[in-house]
A and B are shown apart, each in its own frame.
Chain A
Amino acid sequence: MLDIQTLLQIFWTGLANSSYAVLLAAAFALVLKVVKVWNFAQAGLMGIAYYTMYAGIQKFGLPAYAAIALGAGAAIVAALAMEVWGLQTFRRRHSPPLTFFIFTLVVSELVQYLLAMAAGTEPVSLATTLMSASHIVGGVVISEWDLKAIATTVVMMFLLYLIIKRSRQGQFMLAAADNPHLSRLYGINVRRVYALTFVVAAILITAAMYLFGTRASMVPNTPLEMMLFAVIAALLGGMGNVFGAAVAAVFLALLRAFSILVIPSAWQSLILYALLFITILFFPQGVRLTRRARKPAATPAVSTTPADA
């Protein structure tokens, strides 16, 4: 018999675990929105950030903040290298979309194999212990990791909101996302905008991987599965809707958390793939919440006919 406390506990744990998924989904959706690339190389960037932080903390004994900075630096360098030497080259050549798909996917796989060679295939984590001090609030166990993860995600998403909506560079991103050719005519350096987009995505990815690594362990091919989650969230949130993807990631994480009540553990990993199919079948353009239509004005205040132009 399920009681309210069990349900609340599942909800809370699912919400806390959605933290890194939210950041990964936002990073994927941001690149998709601005650069118009399905960045499957995100899994490679995730691996690079994670294993750099792992080397910093576990091998060189760096403090967490220094390891995070190192991980972010490595991810940014890798992302920029991919953009400058890879994607820009293909754009210049007017390569077909197939080339972009293959390139990002293969970069991801290359990184995975390189990491397997360098670090082996044993699971590694960023923390010496995955246990976190906990408190019981109203019968629900709340760990310090949960609080840290949720707070980090909220702050990162707020900063992302400020960058996109309130900064000049963010406005350039939106302009380039809307129409890169017109943006160029208005003097926006679209290449720089794309590079900045990858930098922001790399920072989000690093934050997500740090949160994940202090909660669980990882092998080199884990990021591919995690990225699939981000892809589904990006699809469900609406193509290129960064904050919609973040909300979808929370929804998917909660759905997965509550599924333990009805689906045996051996089949748990299938949920993700089933969700992918359901999303493609029923929500190919993402879930759109309907807005109440405004009443049309009796007489138009401003004429929009070309004659007025």
Chain B
Amino acid sequence: MEYVASMLVLVGLYIILASSFNLIIGFGGLISIAHPIFFALGAYTVGVLSVQYGVNPFLSVVAGFFVALVASFALSLPSLRISGDYLLITSIGFQLGLLEIIKNLDFVGGASGLGGIPNVVSGQRNLVFAGVSLGLALVVVLAVRALVRGPYGRAIKAMRDDELAFLALGRNAMNIKIAIFALGSGMAGVAGGLYAYYYQYVTPDQFQILQSAMILTMVVVGGMGSVLGPVVGAVLLLLLPEAITFLNLPSAIMGPLQGVIFTALVILFLFLRPQGLIAPAKPTLGGH
């Protein structure tokens, strides 16, 4: 039961990450792979606030949301100001550069990581975290659904599908891009905060390119631009590696093997089913 509950915590966390990333890449059409750095910023914010200042857990997670949201401007403003293409390139540098900074800062634990994050749940820890994680995941999925089905969502999709026509209508595409990038990043920050409280230890290595590949795989395999796609992708891709853990392979093989599975799946889906397992709904003439 404990094992299942711990898996459910991860499922909830990755649904938040995949859904928020889908908002950016699937609905917004903004190509970035730096989502794990916002996850990291949320985790480190919670780590520092709880370890060094004893801040209330709820407020710490909220702070994680805002730190990730504000940090997203540092990436989106310079790169989107010029062209969307630059976002991907800048995002690689942003992620690796910030991780390099974290590795050199003593007050966040440096390369060895930040430990001693307090346990905020006393009894039935795994079950409580599973409940909170899945609850937050549900909130995020419903929030994304409400957003993309509303008038703002239609504007987002119009911008993604034909930016020139969107601009010709007098709409400001830049504001929408920055806003959805910030919102998606903030959601990743919330997942990071929860992650830090659950594992009570964060290290820069947990937020490397492997994480980017994993989240991207969940979105591509599940269905980019569909609300439920990332949910399916997250569940599937968290259960799949569990199958290979029974092979009892050494960790030096296990890590890269997981990476091979994730990346090979993305390539397969790009060729065989580019729309993913759950294709995005096609607009009807009625607009519904």
A106 and B216 contact, Cβ closer than 8 Å, known pairs A117-B257, A273-B97, A284-B83: yes
B100 touches A113 (CB 8 A): no
Among residues of A, the one whose C-beta sits closest to the C-beta of B259 is A113
Among residues of B, the one whose C-beta sits closest to the C-beta of A273 is B97
Interface: A103 (CB within 8 A): yes
A117 touches B97 (CB 8 A): no
Which residue in B83, B97, B256, B274 is a CB contact (below 8 Å) of A95? B274
**Interface of B: prevailing SS:** helix
A97 touches B85 (CB 8 A): yes
Interface: B196 (CB within 8 A): no
Interface: B144 (CB within 8 A): no
Tell me, rounded to whole Å, the shortest Cβ–Cβ distance linking B260 to chain A: 5
Tell me, rounded to whole Å, the shortest Cβ–Cβ distance linking A153 to chain B: 24
**Residue tally, chain A, CB below 8 Å to B:** 40
The CA of A171 and the CA of B121, in the complex, are separated in Å by 69
A113 and B256 contact, Cβ closer than 8 Å, known pairs A270-B101, A277-B78, A284-B82: yes
Q: Which of A94-147 contact B (CB under 8 A)?
A: 95, 97-99, 101-103, 105-107, 109-110, 112-114, 116-117, 120-121
Interface: B6 (CB within 8 A): no
A102 touches B256 (CB 8 A): no
B104 cross-chain contacts in A, Cβ below 8 A: 266-267, 270
Among residues of A, the one whose C-beta sits closest to the C-beta of B29 is A98
Interface: A225 (CB within 8 A): yes
Among residues of A, the one whose C-beta sits closest to the C-beta of B254 is A117
A98 cross-chain contacts in B, Cβ below 8 A: 25, 29, 31
Tell me, rounded to whole Å, the shortest Cβ–Cβ distance linking A92 to chain B: 12
A101 and B31 contact, Cβ closer than 8 Å, known pairs A109-B259, A280-B82, A284-B83: yes
A positions within 8 Å CB-CB of B: 38, 89-90, 95, 97-99, 101-103, 105-107, 109-110, 112-114, 116-117, 120-121, 221, 224-225, 228, 231, 235, 266-267, 269-270, 272-274, 276-277, 280-281, 284
